[in-house]
Amino acid sequence: MQLEFWFEFASTYSYLAASRVEAVAAAAQVDVVWRPFLLGPIFAAQGWNDSPFNLYPAKGRYMWRDMERQCEGYGLPFERPSQFPRGGLLAARVARLGEAEPWLPDFVRAVYTANFVEDRDIAQREVIEDILHAAGLSAELVDAALAPENKQALRRQTERAQELGVFGAPTFVVGGEIFWGNDRLGQAIGWCAVHGG
């Protein structure tokens, strides 16, 4: 059975999920399909023009403290970035382009590390090019990611997220069921085990 992992590069909890989804899924012999998408249009559709962690300060203060504790628990590095949320559009376009490529998981994790560990601005083209270069990939992937058909493909993917009922990130989708949040990864994997063919 397949687990779809829907993630947004600006999302702190997507960083947690991206760091562990492969290992957790592999242990249960579940295949992961990576689904980059954008939360911006989904938030805009419900009247938010910013991250709910900025719009609702108590929720935001909690999230930053919770992230520190969660990262400590997982043994993950974490530094609160100087800017939040950072624009994940370009990174998402590259990820959409490489969705089925073997380099995708490492690229995704490198982008999260840049944003949430190294405090680098992932919205900048040169930062994404650096990440590709460090991974032994061609910076020309950025040009390909900016082609109209790839932009359109990411747009369609975000629309599909909305159709599935996705309203936040990360979200796991298994056989029509959606599971929201890094905390629900175990349950989504369990769903595969019980309902998988």
Write the interaction track for a copy of itself spanning residues 99-138; mark x where CB under 8 A is met and - where it is not.
----------------------------------------
Shortest distance (Å) from residue 56 CB to a copy of itself: 5
Spatial distance between the Cα atoms of 148 and 143, rounded to a whole number of angstroms: 10
Does position 84 interact with a copy of itself (CB under 8 A)? The reply is: no
Q: Residues 24 to 43: which contact a copy of itself by CB under 8 A?
A: none
The residue with tokens 């043994």 is: 75
112-115 CB contacts, 8 Å cutoff, 24+ apart: 112/9, 112/14, 112/15, 112/18, 112/19, 113/77, 115/9, 115/10, 115/15, 115/81, 115/86
Phi then psi for residue 173, to 5 deg, are: -120, 125
Does position 69 interact with a copy of itself (CB under 8 A)? The reply is: yes
Shortest distance (Å) from residue 57 CB to a copy of itself: 8
Q: Which is nearer to a copy of itself, 51 or 113 (CB)?
A: 51
Terminal Cα-to-Cα distance of the chain (whole angstroms)? 7
Q: Which is nearer to a copy of itself, 106 or 177 (CB)?
A: 177
Does position 66 interact with a copy of itself (CB under 8 A)? The reply is: yes
Does position 183 interact with a copy of itself (CB under 8 A)? The reply is: yes
**Angle subtended by helix axes 89-97 and 148-164, to nearest 10:** 100
User: How many other CB atoms are there within 10 angstroms of residue 77's CB atom?
Assistant: 11
Q: Which is nearer to a copy of itself, 21 or 110 (CB)?
A: 21
Residues in contact with a copy of itself by CB under 8 A are: 46, 56, 58-59, 61-62, 65-66, 69, 73, 162, 165-168, 177-181, 183, 187
